[in-house]
Homo-oligomer: A and B are copies of this chain.
Amino acid sequence: MSKKSHTVIEGGVTAAKGFSASAMNVGIRSTKLDLAIIASDREAVVAGTFTTNLVHAAPVKLCKANLAGGHGRAIVINSGNANACTGPQGMEDARRMGTLTAQALGVDEKLVYVCSTGTIGIPMPMAKVEAGIPKVAAALSPAGGADVARAIMTTDTVPKEIAVQVEIDGVPVRIGGITKGAGMISPNMATMLCFITTDAAVEQRALQAALSAAVDDTFNGITIDGDQSTNDTVLVLANGAAGNATLSAAHPAWAAFEGALRHVCSHLATAIVKDGEGATKLVTLTVTGAATREDARLAARAVATSMLCKTAWFGGDPNWGRIIAAVGRSGANVAEDRVGIRFDGSPVVRAGCLAPGASLKDLARIFAQKAFTIEIDLGIGAAHASVLTCDCSIDYVKINAEYMT
């Protein structure tokens, strides 16, 4: 871990100098904000990470292509339609969104990133989008960040934003971000959009490496329902408006910048799980003592996505049998008589059986809390992995039985 030398400040995606944003309802959704732009007043260095789902949306393909250039001026985002599984027309629509935004801002279209979130497989309502883009572009303002945080929400119940400040060679630089969940959330890109801006000057390759590492430890370590989206995108724009000497991995303050970026990612990833569809409990799950990192991840993921575990957590039921059963079927190397489990540090399982002195009543008190930890020690090796997850409630089923219709 890098030492923490940043402080949390007010604001979100427009907290950094030189960034503006705006959002409107243009009729893709009935009344909610559904079209947004985030813009930098100068060319920014861009890094990004994307869904690994082999089925991915047209805007994801476009972002990946533009990211090859490593630079950007703006992001245009719509909610209410994922523009996924929409074929060649979907690709054309995504490109058109980028072109229109570029024209409205007077920038090269290769510098505009396009993101969509919403229902899969429905053609984009392009008349509304085309009419809307110039209006949204005309309304750009440094005060618009909070509106964009709301515009990207789908089943999210709260907007999610954060900003931090860190000093680089005595120059304060800011990093701010927004994100949305709240279903189709699983490791290896949670189903999500996340937009981060910073006024730091950063080398593109260093920025990409820092983002990839931060995402791997944060957004890729959360799961709500084990489903992975077609549209997951994290983008960071660094525009250098703070006036610091350009950062690279060799810079003495690099760790401070990296730590600040990781703080933003970690905060936003946690916010997604807390606001998971129907979630009532936040569960931090750690697997230790695994033979390999892959084994640790397999075991953690099996428990985190087990319907039986998640419904037990919802019910406040300290049912450790479902946890050890999920570990046993995970594919990880497991020796039943070496497994230990703790809830919030209290021993529950030792050598594969109920730990001496463990009381189901006391354990039920732990599971009655809004947040708790589950530690699983496989007792074989030294590898470990963590997943942040939530319970599965009656409301999760209600939300997802009614989402499209």
Q: Which residues of A contact B (CB under 8 A)?
A: 52-56, 82, 84-87, 90, 119-122, 183-184, 186, 225-230, 305-308, 311-312, 314-322, 324-329, 334-337, 339, 349, 351-354, 364, 392-394, 396-398, 400-405
Contact = CB atoms under 8 A, between A and B. Distances in A.
Contact of A337 (B87, B184, B320, B334): B87
A111 B404 CA distance: 56
A55 B330 CA distance: 10
How many copies of the chain does the oligomer comprise? 2
Contact of A329 (B53, B336, B351): B53
Residue of A225, A307, A337, A349 with most partner-chain B CB within 10 A: A307
Contacts of A328: 53-56, 228, 230
Contacts of A308: 183-184, 225, 227, 400
Given A311-B397, A397-B314, A401-B312, A334 B86 contact: no
Contact of A336 (B55, B186, B228, B319): B55
Given A227-B329, A308-B183, A352 B404 contact: no
A227 B56 contact: no
**Interface SS of A by simple majority:** loop
A368 to B, nearest CB: 11
Contacts of A186: 329
Contact of A85 (B315, B349, B396): B349
Nearest to A318: B404
A321 B405 contact: no
A400 B312 contact: yes
A331 to B, nearest CB: 9
A296 to B, nearest CB: 15
A176 to B, nearest CB: 30
Contacts of A87: 337, 351-353
B85 A55 contact: no
Contacts of A225: 307-308
Given A55-B352, A328-B56, A85 B397 contact: no
A218 to B, nearest CB: 19
14 contacts: A53-B325, A82-B321, A120-B319, A184-B308, A184-B325, A230-B328, A307-B307, A307-B392, A307-B396, A311-B400, A315-B400, A315-B401, A318-B404, A394-B398
B404 A319 contact: yes
A400 B54 contact: no
Contacts of A397: 311, 314, 392-394, 396-397
A367 to B, nearest CB: 10
A193 to B, nearest CB: 15
A378 to B, nearest CB: 11
B396 A311 contact: yes
Contact of A353 (B86, B305, B316): B86
Most chain B CB neighbours (cut-off 10 Å) among A316, A393, A405: A405
10 nearest interchain CB pairs? A120-B321, A55-B328, A315-B401, A311-B400, A228-B329, A87-B353, A53-B328, A225-B307, A54-B328, A54-B334
